[in-house]
Copies of this chain bind each other. A is one copy, B any other.
């Protein structure tokens, strides 16, 4: 199975909180991962991003898709 997405992170479910329509699931990620971001070239220039820079990667929980075998 191959996914058309750059970020594929192995994780373990820590907790599940079930709501009326939406639910929230928390995961532990124990191994180092490589991640990838696509942003406008304008934003890359604004941030002056270059190899070695420390950044924080912000991802809304709604954009994380769990897949289970």
Contact = CB atoms under 8 A, between A and B. Distances in A.
Interface in A31-69: 31-44, 46-69
Interface in A6-34: 6-34
Given A7-B58, A11-B57, A67-B56, A36 B27 contact: yes
A23 B24 CA distance: 13
Contacts of A48: 68
Interface residues on A, range: 35 or more
B5 A43 contact: yes
A66 B40 CA distance: 11
Sort A-B residue pairs by CB-CB distance and give the 10 closest, nearest first. A19-B21, A63-B63, A37-B64, A7-B59, A19-B20, A4-B66, A6-B61, A38-B61, A9-B57, A13-B53
